[in-house]
Structure 1
Amino acid sequence: MPVRHLDFYTNQKNLISVQPLSALKDIRLGIDGNVWLKKIISQAASEQYLAGIGGTPSCMRKAIEKELEGFKAASIHPLFVFSGLTLIRKDKSYVNDDVKMVKRNAAWDAVNAGKMDLALSSWSSSYVVHQPDLVHLVIRILKENNIDYMRAPYGAGAQLVYLERNPKQIIHATYAGSELLMFDIDRVITSIDFTKQTFSVISKKALLQDLLLSDDQFLDLCILAGFEYCITFPPLATEGSFAFKSIHDLLQQHRTGFNAVKAYAESPQVIKSNYVDQFCRTRCAMRHQPILTDEGHVEPMNVAHAPNDIHEFIGYRLPDEVYYYLSRGVITEPTLNTLLSGSVAEFSPLCNGETKEYRSFLTSDVMKMRAQTIALLKVHLHTVYDRKISINYWFENSSAPEHILKPDPSFKPESISQWKAGKRSILKDLKQTGMARPDYAFCLDMISNAGDALSTILPTGAGKPAPLATLIEVQGRHLTKLLQLRGFIEFTHQPSAYGKCIVDTFKIHTTAPHEFQDALFLALELVKAELLTPRPYSHNYTKKAVLENQTATKAIRLVTRTASLLSARFKGVKSWAGPLSRDLLAFNSITKVLTRGLRHLSEAVLLEMLLGNECQKDTLDFTELAASMPFAYEPSTVLGILVKEYLELLTLNANANNNKLDKDQAIQQVEEHIGATSLSSLANTVKEELQRGFAFWEVVCDAVKSLAASNAISKELAQEFQEANNWTKTRKI
C-alpha cells in the first residue's frame, strides 16, 4: 500500500523524471516483487470473471513471461524481492466482510438477471486478488525462467535498500513504489514501460528540497499520511477532505511527527486508535526492520542504534535458518505469520460461505489441519511460541466468544519421525519408472508390501538414521510423511484403505497425467469429509432445477464437482467470459480452503524435517525443492462448468421429441453457448477438456470402488458414485 497521496504530489510537482530504458543496460535491478506483481495483476484486469469462477488469474503466467522478455531484451538483470513476514499488531484482528458480501450477492443477482456489466461492476469493487496467494506460483515461474528471486524476512523495501547500499553492489538500482523513499535511498524507479522504452524515477533529494523537509521529517510525513503499516493520522483522515498538504503543514508547525501526535493526544480519535503508540512502533519498525545479510544472518537495519525491545514492534525472532528457507520459498509467510501473530483472520470466500457444509468444514477439519501445522512448526522452535492462537471468523461479530486453536490430542509430531531408508531404494526404483520425481502413488507403492513397510520403521532406541543426501530422497520422505499425517499411511507404515486405493487406481490408470495426483488427493479428502457427494448443500443457489429427472440431476452434480477439482487449461492470453455456476463456486470454496490447508501443512512437514537435520542440507537445491511442493495450484470452476453444460444439453435434448442430439452436436452447442471469447481462451478444444474431465471422473470412481471394497466409506456414498457412473457411461466422451 503506497503512502497516501504521495504519488499524486510527486506528479503534481513534476518530480518524476522519465529517462530512456537504455540507461539501465547491463545493470542488476532489484525489484519489489509485490509492487511488480500488482502491476501484473492490473494488466490481467480483463479477468473480471475471476470472482465468479475462483482459481488463479489464467493470464498471469503470460503477463509475467512477457515482462521477463522485456527485461532480457533491454539487457537488464532482475532480482525480485518479495515481502516476507508481517509486523506484529497489538490490536485484535476483527473480520468484517459485510460490504463485500452484499456486493457479491448483488453481482450474482445481476448474473441471474442477465446483466453482466452490472455484475462485473459489483465484483470489481468487492474482490481483489490476494497477492500472498500467488507468490509461490510466481516464484515457480521465475525458477523455470532462471530468474533470481528471494523473500525478505519482513518487508521487501528494507531488503532492497540493504542490497543497493551493500559495498558488494549486489544490485545497482531499485524498482519499487514511491514508499521506498521512506528509507535511506537516493532514488527509486517507479515504473518501466517496455513499449515506449522508458522508465520513471524519483530523486529523494529533489523531493526533500521541494518539501523543505529533512530525511527524518519526511519519514514522519509518510507515517502520518498513512501507508501499509500505519493508518492516516485520525484528526486529518476525513474521507474526501484529506490533503497531503495538511499533513505537511502540521509537520512544519510541530517540527517532528511525535510532537504533532502528542499535540492531539487527547483527541478521541487518537485515543480510540491508540495512535501515539502506533506511530512510535511504526517509526521504529521503519528504521530497524530486519534484513537478511549476504552472510546469511538476519539483523535489524541500523543495528548499532536498534533498541533492545525490537521484538515489541517486529515480533519474536526466528532462527536464521528459518528465515533462509523463507527466502528460498520453501515455506511461505502465512504458515509462520499465524505462529508469530497468535491469530488467524478467516475471511469470507467468493461464494460468501453461506452453506453449513463450508462453515462446518472450516471449523472442524480445517482447524484440525491447522493444529497439526502449528504443532509441527513448534517442534524445533523456542518455547516462547508455545502460545494460544485465536481464530476470528467473518460470520461472527466482534463480541463473539474467542475461538482458540486447540491442539489435536490424537496427533504427536514424533509419530511421523520413525522413518528410515527401507529395503527398496527410492533412487533405483524411480530411475526404473522414468519419473522425474516421486509422487503419492510411487511413495505408497514403495511400502505396499508388509515386509517393505516394516523395513522403513526406525527401531525404538536406535540412533538417528543417516541424513537424506539427495533431493529425490527428501521429496519422497516429505510426501510419505504428509500421507501419514492425512491418514493414507498407518502407524505400521503400510498404506491404509485410502492409501491402498491410490496405489490400486494408478495401477489401472498407468497413463494418467501427473496433475491427477493432487486432484485425487483432494477428492479423497473430500470423500472422507462426505463433501464430494451428489447431495445439494444446505444453501442451494439454483432456484429452479434444470432437469426434472432426479437421477440425472444427482449424477451431473457429482460428476461436475469432481471435474472442477482439475484446472481447465488456458492459453493465458484471453480470459474466461462464459457461463458461471454459484453452486460450483460454493464447492470450489471448500476445495480452495482445503488446498491451502494442505499446502501449509506440507510446508510445515518439510520445515520440521530440515530443522530436525533429517536432510543433508549442503547438497540440496532449495529453490528446486520449493518448486516441487504439492498443492501449488487452486482450480477454478471452469472445467466443471464445461462438463455441466455438456451433460445438461445432452440430457435435455434426449428428452425432447424428435430433437435428440449426438455427442458432437452437444459439444457444438456448448461452444456456441460459452461464446467465442471463452472458446479462444482455452488451450484445448472443448472436446479435449471434456475428455480430461471424464478421464479424471473414471480415476475417482475406481478409487471409490477400492474404498468401498475395504468398507472405508458408507454404503450410501459408494452407491451414489456407482449410480452416477452408470448414468454417465453412455454420455462420456
Structure 2
Amino acid sequence: MASRAQAFRDWATAEQLTITGPIDQLKDKRIVVDAEDFLENILTSQATREPLLPALGGLPFALRKHLDTYLAKFQEVNITLTFVFNGLDLACRDRQTISRESKQAARSLDEAWSLYSQSRADEAVAEFGKSCTYRTYPILRWLQSYLQREGVRIQTAPYSAAAQVVSLDRENFGDAIAGSSSCLLFGASRVITAFDFESQSFSWVERSKCLAKLAMNEDQFIDFCLLSGLTILALPTELENVPNPIQGARELAGRAGSMGFAAYATLNKEFMELFKKARTAVKHSVIITGSGEVTLTKNDTAAGDMHDVIGQRLPDEIYYYLSRGVVGSRVLNWRTRGELFEIAPLDGGSSSAYQQLVTQKLAPLRTRTMALINPMLHRYYQKKDVDLIAWHNESSKQALGVPDASSPLQSANRWRVRNATLTKASDAKFDIKEEPLLFAVALLSDENTAQETVTEKIGDTATQELRSPDELISNTVLRFLEDRGYINNNHTLSAWGKALKSAFDQAEQNGYLAAAGRKEAEEAIFMAFELHKLDVLNTSQMFPSDKYLGAPMRGSETDRAYTLLLSRIACLGSFHHKEIGFTGPLSRHLLGYQQMTSAVRASLRDLLEVHALSMLGSGAVSRELSPSDYSTLGCNLPFVQDCDLGLSLVVKSFLDELSNDSSKRSDITRWFNHAYDVPGDLEKAWKMWDAINAGIQAADSAIVNNDTKTTFKNADEWLAQKLQQANPANTNGSA
C-alpha cells in the first residue's frame, strides 16, 4: 500500500511548497511528533525501507538501529520529543474503507508471491515493498513500548493523533510539530515533514503557502485535504484510477467555493456520507487535555449526534489509560464499532486453517476479553453485542455474545498481591518487569506462598491498594494466567501451570533462557502451549500446497512432517540478523503459520491489556500514581513484540538439507548473507524445542493426549538422529 505520508511529501515537493532550513534552528526546542507518520517514513523511505517486511512479518531488522540513530541525533541538538499515537478510529474510517485497502494489499501480495514462485526476484521484492505499511498495528505497539523504555515521552490520542498534536501545539506544550498533511487539515500553521541529519537540515510546509499556491480559502483547503486521500479519509473511488487523483481533488475542491456540496454531486453517496462525517470530525476534533478531560475543540457549537460523526464515546477514565499506553485501540475499537472486522493476513488468508482460527477458535478468547471491561462501560455497551466479520466472507456476521459472556472479574479481584509477598519469589532471581511470566510461575510454585496471594478485599482501606510498578505488572499477569487456566481458584498452579513450569525449568537447565533472553524464552514457551490448546501446534498440512510454496520438501514423509513441526515452533523465536534488509529464501507456507502465531499473540496481548484496564478501574489501584507509572505498566506487559519468520526459515532450510542426499547438501549459511550466527541460532532453536517438548511430556494426559506426546517424543528422537548425522561429535542435539 502506498504511504499517504510519502504521497504528501512528494506532492509538496512537486508544488515547491517545501521549505528547508538548518537543523540548528530547532536547538533546545520541543517537538510533538505524529508517531504513525514517523514510522511510515522509516518503512517507506528509500534509505530505510525493508521491502521484504510483508514476506517475513515481525519488525524490520534495522528498525531499532534507525530509532536509536534518530534519538541520538535529536539529543545532540537538545530537541525534546513527544510522540503521539493514533487512538480510536473516527467514524469516517468505516469497514468498507478498511476492506478496500485490505483487498488492495492482498492482491499486491498475491502478485508478489506469484513473481517469487517464477524466480523473478527483483520484481517480487518491488511488489512486496508496496505493502510495507499494511498491518502495522503490532509494530506501532512495539514502538510505543520501546520509546517509553528509552525515556521518550509518549501519548495516545483519543482518536486522531494529528488532532492531538495540533492541540498540544496550541497549548504551547511544544515549539513545533512534525507529521503529515493531516496536521494541516486540523489547523496547524506549519508542519515539519522531514529531518536530514546528514545535511544538518530539516524541511517543513506552511499552511498559508499551501492556501496561496492552491488559490483556496480555508474551507476549500479542508475539502481538498479530505478528497485527496492524503489525510483521514480514503480517496473516493471516482478518483482512484484518474492519472492524477490529487489534481482531481484539487479541481473538485476549487469548484466547491461557489457550489458547496453540489460540487461533489458526481461522487457516490457512500463516500459523501463519510466525507460529511470527516468534515465534522475536523471542525469538532476530539482531544485530551493535560488534566485528562476528553473534549471537543468547539464543544459549544457541536450537534447532539456527534457520536454518529466521531464514534461512540467511552468513559474518560478509559481514554486516559489509552493515552498512557496501558491499553491499545484494538479492543476499544471493537466495542465502539460493535464490530470486529478481520482483515486478510500478510500471506493472503487463503488457508481455511487461518480462517477457522480467527473466526472460531479465537472467538471465545476475544469475547471474554471484551466482556471483562463491560463493568467500566456505559449501559449502552453492556447491552450491545459485537459482530465478527471476516475478509473472506463479509456477507456473514457472527454475533459473539459479549453481553452474555461470563467475566472473570470476581476471581480477578482476589489478586491484590503486595510487595511483601512478591519478594518471596526473589530467590528465583526473576525480574518482574523483564520476565513476568517466569516470575509468576516461580511465585506460585510454593503452595504456602500461593495461599498468601489470595487477598480478598476487606472494606475500603487504602492499605490494600496497589501502588508500585512491580505490583501493577505482577497482579496483571497473575490475573491473566488464572484467566488462561494456568492457575487454580486457590492460586496454586493448575495442570497447565505445572506443565508450563516444567518447560521453564528445562529452559533454565539447558541454557535456553540464557541463549534467547528470558523475555523471549518465556513468551515462546507460553505461546507454544497456547497454540497447542488451539490445536494448531502439529504436523497437519494447513495450507494449500499449490499456492503456499516453501513447505519442507526433502526426505521421507516423516522427515517432512517433523521438519514442519520444528519449523513452526521456530516461528516463536527471534533471528539474529544484521541491521539491514533481509536477503535469503522465503516461504509463503511458513509465513501462513507465522501469521497464525501473530493472531494468537495479539489476542493474548489484548487480554493482558484489558486485565490491566479492569484492575485499574476496579478500585484495586491507588489513584495517586504518576502518568509514567501507567506507561511503565503498558510497556512491560508480555507479547508486545511479534517474531519474524527468520528463525523458522533457517530451521526449515537446515533440516531440509539434512534430509537431502549427503552428496547434494548445501551450506545454508550462504543463503542468509546478513545473519550474525546461523549455527548459534540453530542451537537456540534446538534448546527452545527441548524446553517445549519437556513441558509437553510432563503435562497431565487430561490436557495433552498421548498421541501428541508420542508425536513430540518421536520428533525429538528424529532430531537427535539428524543432528548426530550432521555432527558425529554431538551426542545430544536436543540439549
- Taking structure 1 as the reference length, what is the TM-score of the superposition? 0.89
> What is the rounded CA distance, in whole Å, between the counterparts of 1:617 and 1:695 in structure 2?
44
For 1:561 and 1:233, how far apart are their aligned partners in 2? 41
Q: Where does residue 569 of structure 1 map in the other structure? A: 576
Report the Cα offset of residue 660 of structure 1.
10
What number of residue pairs does the alignment pair up? 704
Which residue in the other structure is 2:729 paired with? none
Task: Pick closer, same or farther for the CA change 1:649–1:458 going to 2, 3 Å.
Answer: same
1:208 matched to 2:202: no
Alignment of 1:537 onto 2:542: yes
Q: Deviation at 1:12?
A: 4.4
Q: SS state of the match for residue 373, structure 2?
A: helix
Residue from 46, 56, 64 that aligns with 2:67: 64
- Pairwise CA distance, 1:414: 2.7
CA spacing shift, 1:304–1:626, aligned 2, 3 Å: same
Measure, in 1, the Cα distance between the counterparts of 2:550 and 2:59. 28
* CA shift for structure 1 position 454: 4.3
Deviation at 1:46, TM superposition (A): 4.7
What residue is the counterpart of 2:598 in the other structure? 592
Task: Give the 3-state SS of the residue equivalent to 1:190 in structure 2.
Answer: strand
Among 598, 605, 610, the residue aligned to 1:604: 610
Q: Does the aligned pair in 1 maintain the 2:418–2:471 contact within 8 Å? A: no
User: Is this contact kept in 2: 1:95–1:392, CA < 8 A?
Assistant: no
Q: 2:99 aligns with which of 95, 117, 121?
A: 95
- 1:575 CA displacement: 2.3
Report if aligned partners of 2:141, 2:328 keep a CA contact under 8 Å in 1: yes
Q: What residue identity is the alignment partner of 2:443?
A: M
Pairwise CA distance, 1:721:
0.2
Work out which of the residue numbers 660, 666, 673 in structure 2 matches 1:652.
660
Match of 2:727 in 1: none
C-alpha change, 1:138 and 1:507, in structure 2 (3 Å) is: same
1: CA distance, partners of 2:315 / 2:13: 43
Task: Say which SS state the counterpart of residue 21 (structure 2) adopts.
Answer: strand
Return the letter of the residue paired with 2:326.
V
Looking at structure 2, the residues matched to 174 and 302 of structure 1 have their Cα atoms a distance apart, in angstroms, of 21
Letter in 1 for 2:569: T
Note if contact 2:550-2:586 (Cα within 8 Å) is conserved in structure 1: no
**Structure 1: stretches of 5+ with no match in the other structure:** none
Name the structure 2 match of 1:689.
Answer: 681
Q: CA deviation at 1:590?
A: 0.9
> Residues 225 and 583 from structure 1, CA distance in 2 versus in 1: closer, same or farther, beyond 3 angstroms?
closer
- Contact 1:55–1:635 (CA<8 Å) still a contact in 2? yes
Amino acid at match of 2:717: N
Q: Is the 8 A contact 2:324 2:630 kept in 1?
A: yes
Q: Which residue of 2 aligns with 1:321?
A: 317
Q: Is the 1:418–1:457 contact (alpha carbons within 8 Å) kept by the matching residues of 2?
A: no
Which amino acid letter does the alignment assign opposite residue 614 of structure 1? A
Tell whether the 8 Å contact from 1:5 to 1:243 is kept in structure 2 after alignment. no
Identify if the C-alpha distance between structure 1 residues 182 and 552 changes in structure 2 by more than 3 Å, giving closer, same or farther: closer
1:722 paired residue number: 713
Q: Which SS does the other structure have where 1:149 is aligned? A: strand
Whole-angstrom distance in 1 between the partners of 2:107 and 2:240: 24
Q: Which amino acid aligns with 1:679?
A: N
CA apart distance, 1:304? 3.3
- Structure 2: gaps of 5 or more residues: 724-732
Match of 1:637 among 636, 641, 645: 645
Contact preservation (8 Å) 1:95, 1:346: no
Moved more, 121-130 or 698-707: 121-130
How far has the Cα of 1:102 moved from its partner? 4.6
Distance, in Å, in 1 between the alignment partners of 2:214 and 2:551 is: 63
Q: Tell me, yes or no, if the aligned pair for 1:422 and 1:452 is still in contact at 8 Å.
A: no
Matching residue of 1:393: 390
- Out of 426, 431, 444, the residue aligned to residue 426 of structure 2 is 431
Secondary structure class of the residue paired with 2:205? strand
Q: Deviations over 1:312-347 (max 9, x none)?
A: 211222222212211121111112111111112211
Answer yes or no: is the 8 Å Cα contact 1:174–1:188 preserved in 2.
Answer: yes
Change (3 A) 1:705 1:302: same
Cα deviation 1:122-174 (Å, max 9, x = unaligned): 323455343332122112222232222211111122112221221xx210111
Aligned to 1:52: 55
Contact 2:430–2:438, Cα closer than 8 Å, also in 1: no
For the residue of structure 2 that corresponds to 1:535, the secondary structure is: coil
341, 344, 347: which one aligns with 1:348 = 344
**Aligned to 1:566, what secondary structure does the other structure show?**
coil
Q: Which residue of 2 aligns with 1:558?
A: 565
Question: 1:607 Cα deviation (Å)?
Answer: 0.3
Q: Give me the whole-angstrom Cα distance separating, in 1, the residues matched to 2:9 and 2:606.
A: 36
CA contact (8 A) 1:3 1:225 kept: no
Out of 113, 119, 139, which is 1:108 matched to?
113
> Does 2:556 correspond to 1:549?
yes
> Which one is further off, 423-432 or 152-161?
423-432
Correspondence 1:439-450 to 2 at 5 A: 439-450=436-447
Q: Tell me how far 1:501 sits from its aligned partner.
A: 1.0
Q: Contact conserved, 1:88 with 1:340, CA < 8 A, in 2?
A: no
Instruction: Give the secondary structure class of the aligned counterpart of 2:490.
Output: coil
Per mean C-alpha deviation after superposition, the further-off stretch among 213-222 and 55-64 is 213-222
Cα gap change, 1:716/1:109 in structure 2, threshold over 3 Å: closer, same or farther?
Answer: same
For 1:65-84, what aligned pairs fall within 5 Å after superposition?
65-84=68-87
Q: Residues 156-175 of structure 1: matches in 2 within 5 Å? A: 156-166=161-171, 169-175=172-178
The change in CA–CA distance for 1:627 and 1:567 in structure 2 (over 3 A counts) is same
Q: How does 1:667-706 map to 2 (within 5 A)?
A: 669-672=667-670, 674=671, 678-680=672-674, 682=675, 684-706=676-698
Please state if 1:414 is matched with 2:409.
Answer: yes
Q: Is the 1:671–1:686 contact (alpha carbons within 8 Å) kept by the matching residues of 2? A: yes
Give the drift of 1:523.
0.2
Contact 1:368 1:408 in 2 (8 A): no
Match of 2:636 among 612, 628, 647: 628
Indicate the residue corresponding to 1:291 in structure 2. 287
Please, which of 338, 357, 361 is the counterpart of residue 361 of structure 1?
Answer: 357
**Contact 1:423 / 1:455 at 8 angstroms: preserved in 2?**
no
Tell me which amino acid in the other structure corresponds to 1:95: S
1:239-258 equivalences in 2 (<5 Å): 239-242=241-244, 248=250, 251=253, 253-255=255-257
How far residue 726 of structure 1 moved from its aligned partner, in angstroms, is 0.9
Query: Structure 1 residues 331, 254: CA separation in 2 closer, same or farther (over 3 Å shift)?
Result: closer
Do the aligned partners of 2:252 and 2:264 also contact (CA within 8 Å) in 1?
no
Cα drift, residue 700 of structure 1: 0.4
AA partner of residue 470 (structure 1): S
For the residues of structure 2 that align with 1:434 and 1:148, how far apart are their CA atoms?
Answer: 30
Q: Which amino acid aligns with 2:643?
A: P
Contact in 2 for aligned 1:391/1:404 (Cα 8 Å): yes
Structure 1 residues 232 and 3: alpha-carbon distance in aligned structure 2, compared to 1, 3 A threshold = farther
Query: CA separation in 1, counterparts of 2:219 and 2:107?
Result: 43
- Which of these two proteins has the greater Rg computed from alpha carbons? 1
With 611-620 and 447-456 compared, the bigger mean Cα shift is at 447-456
Structure 2 vs 1, CA of residues 506 and 281 (structure 1 numbering), >3 Å: closer, same or farther? Answer: closer
Shift, 1:279, TM fit: 3.2
Partners of 2:111 and 2:300 in 1: CA distance: 55
Q: 1:517, CA displacement in angstroms?
A: 0.7
Answer whether contact 2:292 2:316 (CA < 8 A) is retained. yes
Instruction: Provide the C-alpha distance between the structure 2 equivalents of 1:331 and 1:6, rounded to a whole number of angstroms.
Output: 30
